[in-house]
Amino acid sequence: MGRLRNLLMGLALATCTAATAAPPAAAQGVMRDRLVIISSTSAGTVARMLAASFTERFEGVMEPTRRTLPTSGVLDLFCAGVGPQTPDIAVVVRRMPRSMVETCDTNGVRNIVEMRIGLSAVLLAVRRGEGTTNLTSRQVWEALAAERIVDEEFVPNRRALWSEVSPALPRIEIRVLAPNLGTGTNGLFEDMILEGGCRDVRAIRLLFEAQYRRGKCVTVREDGRVQRMGGLEVPAALLASPPGTVGVISYDQLQASGGNLVALTLDGVLPTQGSIYAQDYVATRIVYVYAKRQHTRLREGVGVVRGIREFLNEATSEAASGPGGYLSVTGLVPLPPADRAAQRRTADRMTLLSR
């Protein structure tokens, strides 16, 4: 509760500062002059790009206030209550569980709009013509983690070859190209592959503090085996890298390579459009947008701010989340056509969540 209180206080300070910066809007009776958007780390780039396009597209709107938090913190903050000191919109890669819907209801957040804007998938790729090794998330974590476990103790990871991770893997050097920290694709890589690969490791499960456990899962080695760069640079760098190099890329980048890059099977499933749609591929998440209809100005409820419907329309537009939309650079895989149309109707009508 103390952590949530601190988050609310910080958010209230930010929104109050933003509101006082625009006297004309306040004079018109608007309780807040801009949207407040919170997002999970994995969805941070999606939220940032949507906010930027929303600001450019709709004349006279103020740039939204944004904040990035762990997924659980996003939903806690979203459901903490209604009013100008609380956020309007949440962007996450995990559906709000029923227990959180009940928490929202208890705190007065009862008119929630839920939308799906696409699927995020991160994959491992090599150049065409190289061996397409089948990997598991556990093997990827064991190869890339800053520390390995020996006799229940954490020691620096010095493995140089994939065959040192498992005799079934080839005797080639571990070389991985990964997006910079803080990018959407890297966030998905951490959440879905690295953390997924270590969650069942006994020594990790015995760690009491959740944040410490996550650190052991997602902190990668800094001895040159993992090379960081801009996410858009990874495909070209991979094509120019020594044989056996593995790149962390989005599904859209795989398609854009024209067949020059080939995805690796992960945990027994090859990432294809079909396996991503069906969520059979483990490193896949649906990107959700949640909004408080109670905050919509000139609508029922407290009417905190204008622009919520416009933001939802932007998020579900073909220009954003359709095939070739600008969100594709974040690794977003569009929903099928009928699903995209359904989400646009939800945005336009602000249909309430019911489950």
Please tell me the predicted confidence (pLDDT) of residue 20.
Answer: 42
Instruction: Mark whether 324 and 243 lie in a shared domain.
Output: no
Pair type for strands 36-40 and 226-229: unpaired
Please tell me the predicted confidence (pLDDT) of residue 28.
Answer: 40
Please tell me the predicted confidence (pLDDT) of residue 121.
Answer: 86
Please tell me the predicted confidence (pLDDT) of residue 26.
Answer: 37
Residue 234 counted as domain residue: yes
Please tell me the predicted confidence (pLDDT) of residue 27.
Answer: 35
CATH of the domain at 259: 3.40.190.10
Residue 315 counted as domain residue: yes
Residue 354 counted as domain residue: no
Instruction: Mark whether 222 and 307 lie in a shared domain.
Output: no
More confident residue, 305 or 8: 305
Instruction: Mark whether 212 and 149 lie in a shared domain.
Output: yes
Residue 205 counted as domain residue: yes
Please tell me the predicted confidence (pLDDT) of residue 149.
Answer: 87
More confident residue, 287 or 208: 287
pTM of the model: 0.71
Rounded distance between C-alpha atoms, residue 269 and residue 279, angstroms = 10
Tens digit of pLDDT for each residue in 133-153? 799 999 999 999 999 988 878
Instruction: Mark whether 109 and 127 lie in a shared domain.
Output: no
Tens digit of pLDDT for each residue in 309-340? 999 999 999 999 999 899 987 778 889 899 99
Tens digit of pLDDT for each residue in 61-110? 899 999 988 766 899 999 999 999 999 999 998 889 999 999 999 999 99
Q: Which residues pair with residue 286 across a beta bridge?
A: 119
Please tell me the predicted confidence (pLDDT) of residue 199.
Answer: 84
Rounded distance between C-alpha atoms, residue 342 and residue 337, angstroms = 9
Number of domains in the chain: 2
Residue 200 counted as domain residue: yes
Residue 355 counted as domain residue: no
110: domain range? 2-117+286-349
Instruction: Return the HEC string of 92-152.
Output: ECCCCCHHHHHHHHHCCCCCEEEEEEEEEEEEEEEECCCCCCCECHHHHHHHHECEEEECC
> Which residue, of 252, 277, 302, is where some domain finishes?
277
Residue 236: pLDDT band (50, 70, 90) is very high
Instruction: Mark whether 266 and 143 lie in a shared domain.
Output: yes
Instruction: Mark whether 132 and 254 lie in a shared domain.
Output: yes
Please tell me the predicted confidence (pLDDT) of residue 151.
Answer: 82
> Which residue, of 245, 277, 309, is where some domain finishes?
277
Instruction: Mark whether 307 and 249 lie in a shared domain.
Output: no
> How much is the average pLDDT of 171-195?
88
In percent, the amount of the chain with pLDDT more than 90 equals 59
Instruction: Mark whether 126 and 233 lie in a shared domain.
Output: yes
Tens digit of pLDDT for each residue in 23-73? 443 334 458 889 999 998 778 889 999 999 999 999 888 999 999 887 668
Residue 11: pLDDT band (50, 70, 90) is low
Instruction: Mark whether 270 and 139 lie in a shared domain.
Output: yes
Residue 75 counted as domain residue: yes
Please tell me the predicted confidence (pLDDT) of residue 267.
Answer: 95
Instruction: Mark whether 268 and 327 lie in a shared domain.
Output: no
Residue 306 counted as domain residue: yes
Q: Is the pLDDT of residue 157 over 90?
A: yes
Instruction: Mark whether 263 and 167 lie in a shared domain.
Output: yes
Tens digit of pLDDT for each residue in 263-307? 999 999 999 888 988 889 999 889 999 999 999 976 554 578 999
> Which residue, of 225, 252, 277, is where some domain finishes?
277
Q: What is the dihedral of CA 169, 172, 173, 179, to 10 degrees?
A: -70
- Of residues 99, 88, 106, 8, the one with CA closest to residue 312: 88
Instruction: Mark whether 263 and 250 lie in a shared domain.
Output: yes
